[in-house]
């Protein structure tokens, strides 16, 4: 077996991708990671498809400057609308978060009622519903619910305030009425709300797309014989397109380890494709 010391690139519109990075760190402890949070342009969920494709190209171009061996699109909106573009245009594997979570949801539901929550753009793309239905071995009913206020609430660190719970209750009401037994957290910001959502949805299995994406990343690198060896110098390098005061504290809180302050970079000059 050869050992590939190149880093893994991860990008998201903001801090939500840290929920994916957390699982990647767990499953790939010997790897180095370059994380880019496009905090100057968050959220992606209310942008047009063409704008999201442009942003995704720019973020991927930045990560390629770091000689990454794999790019993880740790953003559901970009996975829904730009993954195929990146996979077609780039010469390294590009992994999104929708397909891994969809397979887990299809396999995990007992009553065939699956809920999906996400940004407006992700829900409007219908990517999860199509992927879950294609992955299921028996009939499933997928009910999707846009939750546009969740991203700014997470970005503000309002993870379990009364106002957040009131908004969540309104979003979840139709899903509960539909008797879902499985809920896909179709935005990488949403796992930061998981303790609150678990309390509000007893008996419902929550699918964290980061967990299943990290497993797929392991498989891809193993198949390509590109895993780093135990002697590799692991680490994390954080970049943002705008300084966000809460980024470092939330990163440390969510990853459970100290992190360096992110470096501010510009990516909008990298491509005008």
Neighbours of 150 (CB within 10 A): 27
Q: 110: which residues sit within 8 A by CB, 6+ positions away?
A: 181
Q: Tell me the per-residue pLDDT of 74-84, one tens digit each, with 9 for 90 and over.
A: 998 899 999 99
* 206 DSSP 8-state letter: E
User: Pairing state of beta strands 182-186 and 235-240?
Assistant: unpaired
List residues with catalytic annotation. Answer: 75, 187
Q: 41: which 2 tokens?
A: 């342009």
Neighbours of 29 (CB within 10 A): 11
Q: Per DSSP, what are the bridge partners of residue 5?
A: none
d(CA 159, CA 156): 8
Q: Tell me the per-residue pLDDT of 117-139, one tens digit each, with 9 for 90 and over.
A: 998 888 998 999 999 999 998 99
d(CA 87, CA 91): 8
d(CA 39, CA 41): 5
Mean pLDDT, the chain, as a whole number?
Answer: 93
Q: 178: which 2 tokens?
A: 């539909």
d(CA 231, CA 124): 45
CATH architecture observed for domain 8-96+211-264: 3-Layer(aba) Sandwich (3.40)
Task: Tell the residue number behind the tokens 């008996």, with chain if given.
Answer: 203
Residue 261 has phi, psi (to 5 degrees) of -60, 145
* Three-class secondary structure of residue 39 per DSSP: coil
- Highest CATH level, class, for 98-210: alpha beta
In the Cβ-directed half-sphere of 11, how many Cα atoms lie within 13 Å? Answer: 33
Residue spans of the domains in the chain: they are 8-96+211-264, 98-210
Q: Tell me the per-residue pLDDT of 44-65, one tens digit each, with 9 for 90 and over.
A: 888 999 999 999 999 999 999 9
Q: Tell me the per-residue pLDDT of 66-75, one tens digit each, with 9 for 90 and over.
A: 999 999 999 9
* CA distances (Å), origin 139, targets 28, 92, 136: 35, 35, 7
Q: Tell me the per-residue pLDDT of 6-55, one tens digit each, with 9 for 90 and over.
A: 999 999 998 889 999 999 999 999 999 999 999 999 888 889 999 999 99
Q: Tell me the per-residue pLDDT of 229-269, one tens digit each, with 9 for 90 and over.
A: 887 778 999 999 998 887 888 888 778 888 989 999 999 98
User: How much is the average pLDDT of 141-163?
Assistant: 91
| Contact by Cβ (8 Å): 184, 114 | yes
pLDDT at position 2 is: 66
pTM score, two decimals?
0.89
């Amino acid at each position: 077996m050869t050992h590939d010391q190149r880093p893994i690139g991860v990008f998201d519109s903001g801090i939500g991708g840290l929920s994916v990075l957390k699982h990647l760190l767990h499953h790939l402890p010997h790897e180095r990671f370059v994380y880019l949070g496009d905090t100057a342009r968050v959220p992606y969920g209310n942008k047009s498809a063409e704008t999201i494709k442009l942003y995704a190209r720019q973020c991927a171009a930045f990560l390629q400057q770091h000689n990454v061996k794999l790019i993880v699109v740790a953003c559901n909106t970009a996975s829904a609308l730009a993954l195929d573009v990146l996979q077609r245009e780039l010469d390294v594997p590009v992994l999104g978060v929708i397909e891994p979570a969809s397979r887990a949801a299809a396999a995990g539901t007992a009553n065939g009622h699956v809920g999906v929550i996400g940004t407006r753009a992700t829900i409007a793309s219908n990517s999860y519903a199509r992927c879950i239905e294609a992955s299921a071995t028996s009939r499933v009913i997928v009910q999707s619910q846009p939750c546009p206020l969740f991203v700014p609430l997470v970005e503000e660190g309002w993870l379990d305030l009364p106002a957040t719970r009131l908004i969540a209750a309104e979003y979840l009401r139709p899903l509960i009425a539909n008797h879902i037994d499985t809920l896909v957290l179709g935005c990488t910001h949403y796992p930061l709300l998981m303790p609150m959502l678990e309390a509000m949805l007893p008996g419902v299995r929550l699918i964290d797309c980061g967990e299943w994406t990290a497993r797929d990343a392991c498989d891809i690198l193993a198949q390509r014989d590109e895993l780093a060896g135990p002697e590799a110098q692991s680490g994390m390098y954080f970049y943002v397109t705008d300084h966000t005061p809460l980024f470092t504290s939330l990163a440390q809180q969510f990853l459970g380890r100290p992190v360096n302050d992110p470096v501010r970079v510009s990516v909008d000059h990298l491509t005008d494709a």
